[in-house]
Amino acid sequence: MLHSITVKDYMSESLLTFRPDMDVIEAIHKLVEKGYSGAPVLDNLGNVIGVLSEHDCLKVGLHASYHGVLGGKVADFMSKNPVTVESELSILELAKMFLDKPFRRYPVTEDNRLIGQISRSDVLRAIDAINDSSNA
């Protein structure tokens, strides 16, 4: 059953995103405020050019301790060349990707433009829905 469920069936379309020229301290504040562990970074055309994760944000503190400056631009700290997934990918293939990689979520793209985001918890929701439907 999981073969027939795709990323677009469970992806989130309401997203927090950042611009590369945004102040990283403001971005950290937004992540903390929303309770997110990361968000995609987009260029002016909506193309995914990076991801700013909690891991990346920890570098801000280290950078400040070495250089005496707290802050900088998102582009200075984001992970470049992010791994993205297409909306038609099966949830089963996505689950395999989550097992093989340390990522908690993937940006979902069509023609490199962001259309959503899918997380580990979204995969669990799909599994739960399959279980609910088979027990009905």
3 vs 46, higher pLDDT:
46
Into how many domains does the chain fold? 1
Residue with more model confidence, 136 or 89: 89
- pTM comes to 0.85
Across the strands, what pairs with 40?
Answer: 51
At 38-50, the pLDDT tens digits run 999 999 998 999 9
- For the stretch 33-38, contacts whose Cβ atoms lie closer than 8 Å and that sit 24 or more positions apart, written own/partner, are 37/104, 37/105, 38/104, 38/105
d(CA 47, CA 19): 11
Q: What's the CA gap between 17 and 130, in Å, rounded?
A: 31
For residue 106, the model assigns a pLDDT of 94
Long-range pairs of 22-29 with CB within 8 A, sequence gap ≥ 24: 22/73, 22/74, 23/71, 23/72, 23/73, 23/74, 24/52, 24/57, 24/60, 24/71, 24/72, 24/73, 24/74, 24/76, 24/77, 25/60, 25/70, 25/71, 27/52, 27/57, 27/74, 28/57, 28/60
The percentage of residues in the chain with a pLDDT greater than 90, rounded to a whole number, is 68
Residue 63 binned pLDDT confidence (cut-offs 50, 70, 90): confident
pLDDT band at 117 (very low <50, low <70, confident <90, very high): very high
Would the pLDDT of 67 be above 80? no
Q: Domain range holding 29? A: 2-135
Q: Do 118 and 7 touch, CB atoms closer than 8 A?
A: yes
What is the tens place of the pLDDT at every residue in 9-29? 999 998 999 999 999 999 999
- What CATH number is attached to the domain comprising 102? 3.10.580.10
Give 135's pLDDT tier (boundaries 50, 70, 90).
low
